[in-house]
Amino acid sequence: MGRWKKEVHLPSLAGYKEIIIVMMRHGGAVDRIAKDLGYPEKKVVDYIKAEGIDMLLNRRSWTWKETRKGRRRIRGQYKPRNNKKV
Examine residue 69 and state whether it is found in any structural domain, yes or no. no
**Domains: count for the chain:** 1
Question: What band does 14 get if pLDDT is binned at 50, 70 and 90?
Answer: confident
- The CB density around residue 84, as the number of other CB atoms within 10 Å, is 5
* Residue range(s) defining the domain that contains residue 42: 13-56
Angle at 26 between CA 59 and CA 65, to 5 degrees: 75
Examine residue 44 and state whether it is found in any structural domain, yes or no. yes
Examine residue 81 and state whether it is found in any structural domain, yes or no. no
pLDDT tens-digit profile of 18-37? 989 898 888 888 888 898 88
pLDDT, residue 4, reads 61
Tell which wins on pLDDT, 60 or 42: 42
pLDDT tens-digit profile of 49-73? 899 888 888 877 777 787 766 555 5
pLDDT, residue 24, reads 86
Examine residue 85 and state whether it is found in any structural domain, yes or no. no
Examine residue 52 and state whether it is found in any structural domain, yes or no. yes
Examine residue 31 and state whether it is found in any structural domain, yes or no. yes
Examine residue 86 and state whether it is found in any structural domain, yes or no. no
